[in-house]
Homo-oligomer: A and B are copies of this chain.
């Protein structure tokens, strides 16, 4: 474990961006710049595709102040990708090319920040390097707003999206209630298979004002029960806010977003209207209420102005821990979070390492016992789980009262 390995490192970003993926990059880059074993810190342009193209930037040439701005810059400053590597036993072309580029730059450390698929990429590269005899330590850094990575209490990126969603739900819940004529508002939230993000809207209800109803993809969608729920609340309160996961599906597995409504005819609608619009149509038909359909779309994953300080700090630490562990001799692992308690019983995050093989391609969903028996809200267990994660306001550098993001020089190595 303590064999000293000297060489360059590559840091790459992969998959859908988050508000804090750049905070992880910052943690990894600064830790790597500090490590004496690491001779050069390279940032891959658009993840693994930048390695394949030998498009690598020398992070040591960046202005440290600009690197620090990465902590508050959303999206993916080095660029991301959704490139899936083949099974090396079937086609090892890409792997040979990666090895070639790694040898060219004497890359001995590879840090990859991403979700399920990216951990799979990490794992495959790790095994190929090991087989080919090129000593290279490979570490995964978790990331996904969807919070569906297996083995970790939560994922960097989730909490900031959750905070954006809860805050927006609170604001919209105020707005949806202003007219005496009433309104039903449907808010569509990301999450194809796991409902962590839609569930987060319930934080708003718990601490002021938020959705009356929350539907998650962990359970089958019952259209009749949904319409009855909305009708009941609307008739009581003259307003109803509904939070829905984009991945809602009927018992037969078909997505609700592809359901037909009586005023649609099935041609081309899948491109135009999303789930919220479709549910809105159903509600309008049933209740006659004025309906507003809102899709949080990309806003929820790049809303760094509402980032959670806890999330930013944990994301940075995840990057840093990956580098420190690799330098200390670890490889083939992902940094993960374990929830612990401090002396006063408060929230504390412990950083652990998991074998990549155990993480890759597994999916963690909202436990069914955190969904109420009516399947239209979450229980207090979810609130207790999510609340500590969204705490704290990070520093938010501005210029002219608008966000000041990192401006990297990106000098090719």
- By a beta-carbon cutoff of 8 Å, the part of chain A in contact with chain B is 17, 46, 49, 73-77, 79-82, 163, 166-168, 170-172, 174-181, 185, 203-204, 207-209, 263-265, 267-269, 271-273, 277-278, 281, 284, 292, 294-299, 301-306, 308, 387, 390-393, 398-405
Measured between C-beta atoms, what is the minimum distance from A265 to chain B in Å?
5
A175 with B17, Cβ < 8 A, contacts A180-B46, A401-B308, A402-B166 known: yes
**B301 lies within 8 A of A175 (CB):** yes
A402 with B75, Cβ < 8 A, contacts A175-B301, A180-B46, A298-B176 known: no
A294-B298, A299-B299 known; 7 other A-B pairs, CB under 8 Å? A166-B402, A168-B303, A171-B304, A176-B298, A207-B399, A272-B272, A305-B305
Residues of chain B contacted by A175 (CB below 8 angstroms):
17, 74-75, 298, 301-302
- A264–B273 alpha-carbon span in the complex (Å): 12
Measured between C-beta atoms, what is the minimum distance from A214 to chain B in Å?
16
Residues of chain B contacted by A207 (CB below 8 angstroms):
399-400, 402
A178 with B299, Cβ < 8 A, contacts A207-B400, A265-B268 known: no
| Identity of the chain B residue whose Cβ is nearest the Cβ of A407 in the assembled complex | B208
**Could you say which of A175, A278, A399, A403 has the most chain B C-beta atoms within 10 Å of its C-beta?**
A175
Residues of chain B contacted by A208 (CB below 8 angstroms):
399, 402-405
A167 with B305, Cβ < 8 A, contacts A79-B178, A175-B298 known: yes
Residues of chain B contacted by A17 (CB below 8 angstroms):
174-175, 178
A172 with B401, Cβ < 8 A, contacts A46-B179, A178-B17 known: no
**A305 lies within 8 A of B302 (CB):** no
A80 with B179, Cβ < 8 A, contacts A203-B402, A208-B402, A295-B295 known: yes
A391 with B401, Cβ < 8 A, contacts A49-B180, A299-B294 known: yes
- A391–B204 alpha-carbon span in the complex (Å): 28
**B171 lies within 8 A of A305 (CB):** yes
Measured between C-beta atoms, what is the minimum distance from A136 to chain B in Å?
24
| Identity of the chain B residue whose Cβ is nearest the Cβ of A47 in the assembled complex | B180
Measured between C-beta atoms, what is the minimum distance from A380 to chain B in Å?
14
Residues of chain B contacted by A296 (CB below 8 angstroms):
299
**B172 lies within 8 A of A298 (CB):** yes
- A413–B180 alpha-carbon span in the complex (Å): 19
Residues of chain B contacted by A303 (CB below 8 angstroms):
168, 171
Measured between C-beta atoms, what is the minimum distance from A246 to chain B in Å?
14
- A296–B300 alpha-carbon span in the complex (Å): 12
| Identity of the chain B residue whose Cβ is nearest the Cβ of A177 in the assembled complex | B75
Of all A-B residue pairs in the complex, the 7 with the closest CB atoms, nearest first, are A272-B273, A75-B174, A175-B302, A76-B178, A171-B302, A80-B178, A263-B268
Residues of chain B contacted by A391 (CB below 8 angstroms):
400-401
A-B contact pairs, 15 of them (CB 8 A): A46-B180, A73-B174, A74-B174, A76-B178, A79-B178, A168-B303, A170-B405, A171-B303, A171-B403, A172-B299, A176-B298, A264-B272, A272-B272, A295-B297, A296-B299
Measured between C-beta atoms, what is the minimum distance from A312 to chain B in Å?
13
Contact among B80, B174, B179, B295 for A302, CB-based, below 8 A:
B174
Residues of chain B contacted by A80 (CB below 8 angstroms):
178-179
| Identity of the chain B residue whose Cβ is nearest the Cβ of A49 in the assembled complex | B180
